[in-house]
Each structure stands twice: as C-alpha cells, then as structure tokens.
Amino acid sequence: MIHSKFKTSLLCGSVAVAMASAAGADTVSLFCSASGAEYQLCSDAATAWAKDTGNEVKINKMPASWDEALPLYQQLLSAKSPDIDVMLLDVVWVGMLKDQLLDLNTVVPAEEIAQHFASTVAAGSVDGKLVGMPWYADTGLMFYRKDLLEKYGKPVPKTWAEMTDTAKVIMEGERAAGNPDMWGYVWQGKSYEGLSCDAIEWLASSNGGTIVDAAGAVTVNNADAIKAVDLAASWVDTISPKGVLDYDEESSRGVFETGNSVFHRNWSYVWGTSQGADSKLKGLVGVTALPSGSAGGPSAGCMGTAHMGVSKYSAHPEAAASLLRFMTGLSEQKRRTIDAAYNPTIATLYEDAEVLAAVPFLGDARAAFDQAVSRPSSVTLGDYNQVSSAFYQAVHSVLAGETTATDAMSLLQADLEKIKARGGW
C-alpha cells in the first residue's frame, strides 16, 4: 500500500517535471478570488508554481461578487479568448460552462483524481467529463458564541426552532446587560445567489426539497418549504436586524465578528478569520452543522465546493494543466488548510496530524460535507441562473414582508414551470 502510493507520487512528480520542460516558459493566465486572504493564498501558490517550473503566471482578480464573475467568464469563453487559462469555478457553474472547459481526464492522471472525495469529483463532472477539479470543499456552517451559550446555560441548538429561542433569550439578556447593538442571528438575506444557498438549507433540512428534484420536476411549492421560509421570515426584525435583507457573507460576518450576534451562518472561512490574532472573538467561537427542521431531522449545509478548470481555448493547455494540478494538489491543499482553514478535498488530509492540530473542527466539518445539499445546477444546467434568481427573489420578497410564503411559492412554482416549458432542462 505504502509502496504503491510512493510509486504514484513519484510518477506524478516526473510527469509534472516533464510537462514543465516541454512547455518551456509559457505565460499562464489564472483567475483568483479577489477577497483579501484568499487572493493572497492563491497568488502565493501560483507564484511558487511559476518559480518551480520556469513559467510565468498572470494573476487576474475575479470580480468581488461571484455573481459577476460568471458573466465575465462566459464573455471571455464565448469569444474563445486565450486571455483565460485556469479559472476558479463555483460548483454551480460546472453545468453552465461544461462545453467550454477542457476534459481534465485527458490531462490529469486517474490516480490523482481518485485522491479527491468521489462526491466532489462527481460534482465537477458532466456526462463523464471532468471539467472542474475539486479545490476546496465548503458548506454552510453555524458559527456561535461559545461564551454566551455557556453564560446562559444553553446547549448548541439542534433545530431551527431551538436556535430561534436561544438566540432570542441571549439577545434580550445581552441587551438588558448593556449592549443595545446585540442581535441573535446574522445570515445572508440579500437578493443574490447567496440567499439561494441559505434558503435551500432551510428547505432541505425541513423536508422541503431542493426547488427542482433530481428528475427535473419543480417541487418548490410544498407545505414544508412554505413553513421553512415562514420561519426564516419571522427572524427578520426580531432576532436578525432588518439589514440582513441586504447582507452578503462579508457584511453579516462584520456584525458577528464585532461581537454583535450570537449565531452566524457562513462558509468555513469564518473559522480562520474569527480565530485570527487580531480578532475580538479569538477562542470564543464554536462551529457546528446547521440546525434541522425537526428534532432528529437532517442538517443540510449548502454545498459550495470550489473547483478549478482549464479553458478549452487556452493557448498553453499543458502549462495550464500543470498549474491546475499544482493548485489542487496535496501539498497546496494542505498549506491552505493549515494557514487559512480551507477544507481540503483530498481524503487523506482529514487524517493528517499536522492538519488536525491546526484545524481541530475538520472532523466535524467532514460530517457536514457528507450531508451537504446541492443546488439543482446539475439538473437545470444552463438554466440554473434563471431558476436560482427566480428562487432568491421570491424568498427575498417573503423575507421583506412584501408577500406571504404561500403566495410566493405558488407563483414561483408557476414561473419555474414556465422557464422549463420554454425549452429549459
């Protein structure tokens, strides 16, 4: 076993070297996320790769909002532009960009692909083509103030209803104790893709389905989904500030990390930021899987795995593939996990002693990944954006109190069926 693994890595190493020398000094264009810490990680790694291989790398910043990054990719790709070689992909884009990305099965050895969780490889594949190499796993998680739960003798909530009660008790207690800015729960309620994630978590954990089921039928108008959205709407202006209707990940994190919220739903990067040396909350934050709709029910974090892909129109596919393999490879994933708590997609890293020492919650996070719920992008393919945008706008109008969940979900059902009938999936 050890022997064969050793041989594999030797083989990979030699392939990488051979590729680099054959490619010579190519300039590869890479798209990195624009947010501070993540950009630094990405560009450091790319620079290291360039130094190792003698190639050059041109690092582009993606637009700060990922909703804006996709149209940029689509424009570059539909113009068959060679300005884009390697790009960071959100899992929901895989189906939309599949025809314009390289099949990575042809450039990455099968053993290397097999190191990654099978579920993440499946999420990056369409019709047997692997177009998005798994880069880091992510899912919606519940962050909470350990110190406050202890102070009020409350357990970590298992259901949304329990979370609602606990948040209310602690919020009122802290306000009475002299912090008028205290809130119970901050999350992402802005009218954008992030709300689709938050809302599909409420639905899926309450037995309310995933908007469109695996067979392609629109299922969003059901009693459990309506109940789940109603519960979320009841948070606005009670345990959550009304401004939550305008919050994305970063603005909600701002409220939590200034110490003004008991609970916070976000991606795993918040573990890294809230434990930073200059964080007000260092040592006070706990993280757990999101609550369920009912006692003993499932927890459903939104699957938000990031992938990496190579453009079909790349002028240097070998160099691009070499960069992609470096970025998604074992040592780089290990570095990202230890330095910034990005969750690896390579199974063996979850048993690595160094990694576990740096990120103790990794074991729990893995359980959350296993239960993660996918947005219906692999069913709706090119129409996913339309489906998601109709969904988050409907949910947003309920949260804002403009309509009721019953009306919004039945209108949404009709709208989605219209999109489907108009030549959709």
Partner 1 sequence: MSRVLARRERRAAWLFLAPAIVVLLLVAAWPLSKTFYLSLTDANFGNPDQYGFVGLRNYADVLDDRLWWKSLSNTLFFTVASVGIETVLGIAIALLLNQAIPGRGMLRASILIPWAIPVVVSAKIWEWMLHDQFGVINAVLIHLGVIERGLAWMAEPGLALWVIVFVDVWITTPFMVLLILAGLQMISKEVLEAAYVDGVPAWRRFISITLPLLRPSIGVAVLFRTLDALRMFDLSYVLGGNSQKTMTVSIYARNQLVSFQQMGLGSAASTWVFFLVALAAILLIGLLKLHKPAEG
- HEC letters along 293-331: CCCCCCECCEECCEEEEEECCCCCHHHHHHHHHHHHCHH
Give whichever of 254 and 360 is closer to partner 1, judged by the CB atom: 254
Closest CA to 380 of 133, 65, 138, 93: 93
Closest CA to 201 of 65, 375, 378: 375
Binding mask 224-263 for partner 1 (x = CB under 8 A): -----------------xxxxxx----x--xx----x---
The amino acid occupying position 83 is: D
Give whichever of 298 and 382 is closer to partner 1, judged by the CB atom: 382
| 122 C-beta neighbours (distance < 10 Å), count | 13
CB of 194 to partner 1, least distance (A): 11
Paired residues of 88 in beta bridges: 308
State the Cα angle at 129 between 84 and 59, rounded to 5°.
20
When asked if residue 396 is in the footprint of partner 1 (CB under 8 A), the reply is: yes
CB of 243 to partner 1, least distance (A): 3
Interface residue with partner 1, options 56, 83, 150, 181 (CB under 8 A):
181
CB of 376 to partner 1, least distance (A): 15
Interface residue with partner 1, options 169, 347, 356, 400 (CB under 8 A):
400
Closest CA to 134 of 270, 375, 319, 329: 329
Closest CA to 170 of 188, 191, 144: 144
Give whichever of 99 and 370 is closer to partner 1, judged by the CB atom: 99
When asked if residue 410 is in the footprint of partner 1 (CB under 8 A), the reply is: no
CB of 17 to partner 1, least distance (A): 37
When asked if residue 398 is in the footprint of partner 1 (CB under 8 A), the reply is: no
CB of 128 to partner 1, least distance (A): 19
CB of 180 to partner 1, least distance (A): 8
Interface residue with partner 1, options 99, 172, 351, 354 (CB under 8 A):
99
Q: How far apart are CA 136 and CA 345, in angstroms?
A: 5
Binding mask 355-394 for partner 1 (x = CB under 8 A): ---------------------------xx-xx--x--xx-
When asked if residue 397 is in the footprint of partner 1 (CB under 8 A), the reply is: yes
- CB contact burial 23-38 (16+ within 10 A = b; e otherwise): beebebbbbbbbeebb
Give whichever of 36 and 155 is closer to partner 1, judged by the CB atom: 36
> CB of 245 within 8 A of CB of 219?
no
Instruction: Name every residue whose Cβ is closer than 8 Å to that of residue 290 and which is 6 or more positions away in sequence.
Output: 140, 141, 142, 201, 205, 265, 299, 300, 301, 368
CB of 87 to partner 1, least distance (A): 16
Q: How far apart are CA 250 and CA 257, in angstroms?
A: 10
Where does this chain bind partner 1 (CB under 8 A)?
67, 70-71, 74-75, 78, 96, 99-100, 180-181, 189-192, 241-246, 251, 254-255, 260, 382-383, 385-386, 389, 392-393, 396-397, 400-402, 411, 415, 418, 422-423
